[in-house]
Amino acid sequence: AQSVTQLDSHVSVSEGTPVLLRCNYSSSYSPSLFWYVQHPNKGLQLLLKYTSAATLVKGINGFEAEFKKSETSFHLTKPSAHMSDAAEYFCVVWGSGTYKYIFGTGTRLKVLA
Amino acid sequence: ETGVTQTPRHLVMGMTNKKSLKCEQHLGHNAMYWYKQSAKKPLELMFVYSLEERVENNSVPSRFSPECPNSSHLFLHLHTLQPEDSALYLCASSRNRAANTGELFFGEGSRLTVL
């Protein structure tokens, strides 16, 4: 069975400092992993995806994530936070055995001026 | 613009009303999904359609009735709802349900308030 755990429900950073949003997954198969961002009262937008190619994945708006099989992690990072990054972020695993997208509970990122 | 359009964006209805949410995708995808997003709860998958056939119904109450007349359109018919059904309803599509490289494309959501 697949599962995903987002380790922090809230993260606060100052503008211009690095962002780290943590995600651990569990999967019996080689997983596909995604990060989505949701701004208030909006739908979810894909930031990046890992589908068994390069382990370091670059996404939009300067975000990237590294797939670490040994640690079963897929943490999202950005070198320098911007005020517009304030939003909720979801880590998602796709299970090839179940054809299900499993969503994490979300991490709300706050960016302080 | 994700290629998935939801209408209406906001809906207020009484418990005895009947209304429908509409979703349209212009991406040529074969799978469409309804999700419910409530405050302080994880995203809940409600229904999945693949090639216009309902392939998943996650114990959703019968007051929610989905319809997929073709692969581009998805509806959620609502009747005799309860206040706890107030939420953001998100429609999504993907290229194929079984494709491991296919991400979900989401609409902007329909914010439903049940009085």
Locate B96 and state its tokens: 């194929």
Please indicate if any CB of chain B lies within 8 Å of the CB of A34. Answer: yes
Question: Is the pLDDT at B101 greater than 70, yes or no?
Answer: no
Q: Is A85 helix (H, G, I), strand (E, B) or coil?
A: helix
Cβ neighbours for B2, distance < 8 A, ≥ 6 positions apart: A43, A45, B105, B106, B107
Question: Is the pLDDT at B44 greater than 80, yes or no?
Answer: yes
| Closest alpha carbon within chain A to B55 | A99
Maximum Cα–Cα distance for chain A, whole Å? 44
Mean pLDDT of B67-96: 94
Per cent of chain B over pLDDT 70 is: 97
The distance of B23 to chain A (nearest Cα, Å) reads 13
- Predicted confidence at residue A79, as pLDDT, reads 97
What whole-number distance in Å separates Cα of residue B32 and Cα of residue A109? Answer: 29
Q: Which of A112, A76, A91 is nearest to A3 (CA)?
A: A91
- A43, A58 in Cβ contact below 8 A? no
Q: B104 vs A44: CB contact, 8 Å cut-off?
A: yes
Q: Is A84 helix (H, G, I), strand (E, B) or coil?
A: helix
pLDDT band at B64; cut points 50, 70, 90: very high
Please indicate if any CB of chain A lies within 8 Å of the CB of B63. Answer: no
Locate A14 and state its tokens: 């100052």
Please indicate if any CB of chain B lies within 8 Å of the CB of A68. Answer: no
Question: Is the pLDDT at A108 greater than 90, yes or no?
Answer: yes
Mean pLDDT of A32-48: 93
Task: Give contacts of B103 with chain A, Cβ < 8 Å.
Answer: 34, 46, 49
* DSSP-assigned letter for residue B102: P
